[in-house]
Structure 1
Amino acid sequence: MPPAPRTRRSYDQYCAAARALDAVGDRWTLLIVRELLVGPRRYTDLHADLPGVSTDVLASRLKDMEREGLTTRRRLPPPSAAYVYELTDRGRELLPVLRALADWGAPALEERGPTDAVRAHWFALPLLRGLAGLGAEGVVGVCLDEGEFHVRVGGDGVSYGDGPAPETPDALLALDAETCVAVGRGALTVAEGVRAGRIEVTGEGVLAKALRAG
């Protein structure tokens, strides 16, 4: 006999915050959003970049998120037969929520625990704070020892993606994770990091010059 469908718990409160937590307050849900903000991901990719989540919980959360209108699932065109999950417009509206959480949580990154997993693109959210207000727009490629990610700044807002940018970036940042965390916490600007020899900026365009100037 198949198991009964999971019943979503609700706070049963006529409150915007409570309704939001009804949709995204379960453990792992917002971290799945974090992963999907980089773009469509296969189930195996999500599982690999969410160390500690069980396959059952991940599958359950993805179903819940689809039911809440936060994600969709689609099949990739031939020759691939894989399905990918991606955020809907409603799901992408959670970016400012994740950014606020990252800003609030950045001070807790002062020390990395011995069992802490790490992925390069996890540094994108706190780094967005340090790249805001530059007065220039474009794509910034970020190179850490842990890997690469890219960030789009200016224009209609900010977004980020895992790995190298699909187009030639307007500027490249090379730095270590500790420096990236310092920029994300607001303890160091990119320009200060450049002057201290902790950050290397490559590029000669407006965005690269803005990064050097701070």
Structure 2
Amino acid sequence: MKTRYDLHCNIAQTLNIIGDRWTLLILHELLTGKTYFNDIKINLPGLSANLLSERLKTLEESGLVNSELYSAHPPRYSYSLTEKGKALETVFNSMIIWGSEHLQPCYKEIVDPETNERVEIGYYSKKSGKRVNTIRIQPIETK
């Protein structure tokens, strides 16, 4: 992983892993079930095969993606998200919700399948499980 941001910040360190051009879109393709190189490439017009290969390798090195050889001659791989990679689904959902509120035109929205009403993101205490109405971002003291 190349370090672009040498900052002690969760956002900066996350961007060091997923902040390159096309990376989020590649992850989104994997999240929606595209597992083969050519399927990902077809769904992302403008992304070169070399760049897709490079990004997949970097994502694998970062522990977000697994690859599995399914054809030896020529070598072909299928790709899947690790648990760490799947955990990014909330990030994508947040971006979809933001887009549904702020983009014109809007392409997607997230709804409750029972009522078809839009949903919102909420914060919950990991300890109690209760919804938290206000949050505070604070530094973690390192030793």
TM-score by length of 1: 0.48
Matched, 1:89 2:70: no
Q: Is the 8 A contact 1:23 1:65 kept in 2?
A: yes
Which of 78, 97, 112 is matched with 1:131 structurally? Answer: 112
User: Could you tell me which residue of structure 2 aligns to residue 46 of structure 1?
Assistant: 40
Q: Is the 8 A contact 2:30 2:79 kept in 1?
A: yes
When the two structures are aligned, how many residues end up with a matched partner? Answer: 115
Query: Which amino acid is 1:131 matched to?
Result: D
Shift of 1:38: 2.0
User: Could you tell me which residue of structure 2 aligns to residue 33 of structure 1?
Assistant: 27
Shift of 1:108: 1.9
Over residues 48-80 of structure 1, what are the superposed CA-to-partner deviations in whole Å (9 max), with x where a residue is unaligned?
0111111121111111101100001002389xx
Distance 1:64 1:77, change over 3 A: closer
Task: Structure 1: state its 5+ residue gaps.
Answer: 1-6, 112-122, 136-182, 187-214
Distance 1:131 1:34, change over 3 A: same
Query: Which amino acid is 1:110 matched to?
Result: P
User: Could you tell me which residue of structure 2 aligns to residue 19 of structure 1?
Assistant: 13
Query: Which amino acid is 2:99 matched to?
Result: G
Query: Which amino acid is 1:130 matched to?
Result: V
Query: Which amino acid is 1:32 matched to?
Result: I
Which of 48, 56, 62 is matched with 1:62 structurally? Answer: 56
Shift of 1:109: 4.4
Q: Is the 8 A contact 2:70 2:76 kept in 1?
A: yes
User: Aligned equivalents of 2:21 and 2:71: distance in 1?
Assistant: 32
What secondary structure does 1:76 align onto? strand
What secondary structure does 1:8 align onto? coil
Q: Is the 8 A contact 1:75 1:84 kept in 2?
A: yes
Shift of 1:40: 5.1
What secondary structure does 2:79 align onto? strand
* Runs of 4 or more above 6 Å deviation: none
Task: Structure 2: state its 5+ residue gaps.
Answer: 119-143
Q: Is the 8 A contact 1:47 1:53 kept in 2?
A: yes
Query: Identity of counterpart residues, as a percentage?
Result: 33
Shift of 1:45: 0.7
Q: Is the 8 A contact 1:40 1:84 kept in 2?
A: no
Query: Which amino acid is 1:101 matched to?
Result: M
TM-score by length of 2: 0.69
